[in-house]
A and B are shown apart, each in its own frame.
Chain A
Amino acid sequence: MKTCRTHLLLCAGTGCVSNGAFEVMRSLEEEIKRHNLTEEVSIVATGCNGFCERGPTMVVQPDGIFYQRLTVDKVPHLVEEHFLKGRPVKELMYTEAKGRPPVPRMNDIEFFRHQVLIALRNRGRIDPEKIDEYIANDGYAGLARILKEMSPEEVISQIKKSGLRGRGGAGFPTGMKWEFARRSAADLKYIVCNADEGDPGAFMDRSILEADPHSVLEGMLIGAYAIGASRGFIYIREEYPLAVERIKRAIRAAEEYGLLGERIFGAAFDFSLRVVRGAGAFVCGEETALMASIEGKMGRPRPRPPFPAESGLWGCPTNINNVETWSNVPVIILRGADWYSSIGTPSSKGTKVFSVVGKVENTGLVEVPMGITLRKIIFDIGGGIPGGKRFKAVQTGGPSGGCIPENKLDLEVDYEQLAEAGAIMGSGGLIVMDEDTCMVDLARYFLAFLEDESCGKCVPCREGLQRMHEILDDITEGRGTMDHLVLLERLANTVKKASLCALGSTAPNPVLTTLRYFRDEYESHINEGRCPAGVCKALIRFSIDPEACTGCTACRKVCPTDCIAGERKQPHKIDPDRCIKCGACHEVCKFNAVRKT
């Protein structure tokens, strides 16, 4: 590796790339060449740095200066000023709000300041396609240690002591899971990495695989040694092409280095790994469905017991953990269980990666210690709600989770606290909602999603979700009655209690939590025929406020049904009979004259 004075860590995560990160990179390369700085300044395309809202982003090392919203036309000035003349460019730095002074260093920015990076330790720091960079940052040192110094039982006891719990959803203690698989006697055992990340609004696994694929491989190797597995699978969504590519490349590199294969590090330990691409089924995130899919069948869950630790892939003992869980493992081995368990709450140790998305200022990926409050995540790190709107709720845990209202924002996030509030930790999606989000519509959205993704095997999930969806359609379209609410709750309980797998048994959660915290919104839809947030099409009407309308004609031009009439500079009018309520006029109006009532 060449030693340079300055390293530019340019984020090449999906968010930044679609905002032009590669164009910026090419321009940087040209400008650096033009100023003869190639020997001094190197550019590293890193995995996702997390601050997607401000992409493309770049960190200048060693000073830690953070640049954001880079564009090609700003690059010449940046290179000349900062890298030639040594004067950081203030205009490209982060500011909290207009008129506030810029924050030059990444670690001083609120978004980054509260984060504790374990699973994401290498994000934005290394080139994910180079195994040497991972190794230079303590990579595979954990594996070396266990193979030299520790017995499988010692590894398991470390993981148990660390308090690590599964990061994929249910939060089952990882060490215990490994112990079950270790105890199952068999010639052949399997290890699986569940990278079929499916919760809408959660993208931490994708980010880890794209930014630091070797951390997952190392975790799996450690797990394989601990339980005595010799073969492994990574089951990853086909919709994540970059992550698939990176993990395949990482496997090849590890094979070349002898980190995968036979007699790893000269020890009596063989392990081989294969990538299986998921073909588009949310239910394959459920472990028994995932295994069926690896075996080449429809991804339909089967009842447990037997658990995969006794009888998994092709009837062999199998241990499945998700991406984030695996990437935590090497650090626990290296830094010790005591260090890890000193972070977090009594029941939930370590950190958790959350994707903070929706109606929030700083959309992005954050890793924070367990026990942090939701308020801190949403308002300090996330920067609060944009456009001066009011916070309404935060949805955690994806379609299996629940909506948490404002009066519970000081809840300290861990598995138990979230469960108490009717939600779950899930994979860590936090979807922030403001006053413009209709909670009945949201419940309907999740049901529609799950109804579509249900495998259809068991009666409560297949038939029940369909009927719950129908009831919510009735309510959001103005046909609801109070009897519907009683039926909805009863049916939700049947589905919850009777479903075969977790997809079905957690599916009613969004409905049950919105009924618990936002019942008034359901009642407004039913009793007043009104959608308070102005979302449910059948219950809203678009009109133009003649006082506010300037007659700019913007709405008239975008209306797909030509139902807006009016002369230039005269107030316009919407013909309600022909309006299809697409909202295009509302979207383009700069004067807030188009009203939803």
Chain B
Amino acid sequence: MDPETLERLDCLIDEAGLEETDLIGAMQDIQRELNYLPEEAMRLVAQKIGVPLSQVYSIATFYKTFSLEPRGRHLINVCMGTACHVRGGVQILEKLKRILGIDTGGTTNDQRFSLEAVRCLGCCGLAPVIMIDGKFHGKLTQKGLDRILEQYE
């Protein structure tokens, strides 16, 4: 990792706070900044907050937000809520897997998309729904997915 990035992470952690209670928040900020948690970042956060590396690694693997591998430029979150399930969410996920050629949790070779199945996004009126980079696309059909993905470079 280059010194500039390390410095940036150093600042991020300082801003999040240096108590144990700030640990997860700091890791969330790093995840958002880099799209994943590289090993050096985990060592840095452990050292700065003063917790064992084992605790950082446990948290990084326990919570779904974190990714140990770099994610693609666009993150597709497919809602796995019950309303989406009964309105055909599974077919949408299957279709996305086929289009992108990756499995849930995977990233396309060109680093364009990462695909995740997530807990209910809480907009069941739009079921079945996906969220790409924070933007919702609802009332989906298998047919309409290609056109939605075209919007993301």
A residues touching B (Cβ–Cβ < 8 Å)? 14-15, 17-19, 52-53, 55, 197-203, 206, 238-241, 276-277, 279-282, 293-299, 355, 357-359, 363-364, 395, 398, 429, 431, 433, 437, 442, 445-446, 449, 453, 455, 558, 560, 582-584, 587-588
The verdict on B74 contacting chain A, using a C-beta distance below 8 Å, is no
Q: Is B5 an interface residue (CB 8 A)?
A: no
Assembled-state Cα–Cα distance A442/B89 (Å): 13
In the complex, what residue of chain B is closest to A50 when comparing beta carbons? B125
Could you name 8 residue pairs across A and B whose Cβ atoms are closer than 8 Å? A18-B123, A55-B125, A202-B122, A239-B119, A296-B59, A358-B87, A358-B127, A395-B82
A296–B52 Cα distance when bound, in Å, is: 12
Q: Do A200 and B62 touch across chains, with their CB atoms under 8 A apart?
A: no
CB-based contact A206/B141 at 8 Å: no
With A280-B65, A363-B83 given, can you name 17 additional A-B contacts, CB distance below 8 Å?
Answer: A18-B135, A52-B125, A52-B126, A53-B125, A198-B119, A201-B124, A203-B124, A239-B118, A277-B25, A293-B24, A295-B20, A295-B21, A296-B19, A297-B55, A442-B86, A445-B82, A582-B98
Min distance, Cβ A588 to any Cβ of chain B, angstroms: 6
Scan residues 43-99 of chain B and give those whose CB is less than 8 A from a CB of chain A.
49, 51, 55, 58-59, 62-66, 77, 80-88, 91, 94-95, 98
B120: nearest chain-A partner, CB-CB:
A200
Q: A200-B119, A298-B58, A584-B142 are in contact. Are A358 and B125 (CB under 8 A)?
A: no
Is the interface on chain B under 10, 10 to 19, 20 to 34, or 35 or more residues?
35 or more
From residue A562, how far is it (CB to closest CB) to chain B in Å? Answer: 13
User: Given A442-B86, A560-B98, A584-B143, are A18 and B124 neighbors across the interface (CB < 8 Å)?
Assistant: no
Across the interface, do B86 and A433 meet the contact criterion of CB distance under 8 Å?
A: yes
Q: Which 10 A-B pairs have the closest CB atoms?
A: A52-B125, A280-B64, A203-B122, A357-B124, A279-B63, A18-B136, A200-B120, A200-B81, A296-B23, A357-B83
Q: Looking across the interface, which residue of chain A has its beta carbon closest to that of B64?
A: A280
Q: A198-B120, A239-B121, A277-B25 are contacts. A15–B126 as well, Cβ < 8 Å?
A: yes
Given A14-B136, A395-B82, A429-B82: A358 touches B62 (CB 8 Å cut-off): no
Known: A201-B81, A201-B82. A282 touches B123 (CB 8 A): no
Q: Are A445 and B85 in contact (CB under 8 A)?
A: yes
* A358 & B122 in contact (Cβ 8 Å cutoff): no
A21 vs B102: C-alpha distance when bound (angstroms): 34
Partner of A14, one of B21, B122, B141: B122
- Contact B20 A296, beta carbon cutoff 8 Å: yes
Complex Cα–Cα for A320 and B138 (A): 34
**A429 contacts which chain B residues (CB < 8 A)?**
82
Taken together as a complex, chains A and B put the C-alpha atoms of A279 and B28 apart, in Å, by 7
Total number of residue pairs linking A and B with CB closer than 8 Å: 160
Tell me how far the C-beta of A205 lies from the nearest C-beta in chain B, rounded to whole angstroms.
Answer: 9
C-beta contact mask, B93-115 vs A, less than 8 Å → 1, else 0? 01100100000000000000000
Give the chain A neighbours of B22 by CB distance below 8 A.
296
The chain B residues found within 8 Å of chain A, CB to CB, are: 19-25, 27-28, 49, 51, 55, 58-59, 62-66, 77, 80-88, 91, 94-95, 98, 118-127, 134-138, 141-143
Which A residues lie within 8 Å of B88 (CB)? 583, 587
| Given A200-B119, A296-B23, residue A364 in contact with residue B125 (CB < 8 A) | yes
By beta carbon, the residue of chain B nearest A205 is: B122
* Inter-chain contact A358/B143, CB cutoff 8 Å: no
Contact partners of B65 in chain A: CB under 8 A: 238, 279-280
Q: In the complex, what residues of B have CB within 8 A of residue A198's CB?
A: 119-120
Specify which chain A residues have a CB less than 8 angstroms from the CB of B21 in the assembled complex. 276, 294-296
Complex CA distance for A198 and B64, rounded to whole angstroms: 13
A200 touches B80 (CB 8 A): yes
- Give chain B residues whose Cβ lies under 8 Å from the Cβ of A240: 122
Report the separation of the CA atoms of residues A197 and B124 in the bound assembly, to the nearest whole angstrom.
Answer: 14
Asked if B28 and A277 make an inter-chain contact with CB atoms under 8 angstroms apart, the answer reads yes
- Is B120 a contact of A203 with CB atoms below 8 Å? yes
- With a CB–CB cut-off of 8 A, which chain A residues contact B91? 582-584, 587
Instruction: Give chain B residues whose Cβ lies under 8 Å from the Cβ of A355.
Output: 124
Q: By the criterion CB–CB under 8 Å, are B125 and A15 in contact?
A: yes
Residue of A nearest to B85 (CB): A445
How far in angstroms is the closest Cβ of chain A from B108? 18
The winner among A201, A359, A453 for most chain B CB atoms within 10 A is A201
Known contacts A282-B119, A442-B86; is A363 also within 8 Å of B143 by CB? no
The answer to whether A206 and B51 have CB atoms under 8 Å apart is no
Residues of B with C-beta under 8 A to A449: 80, 119
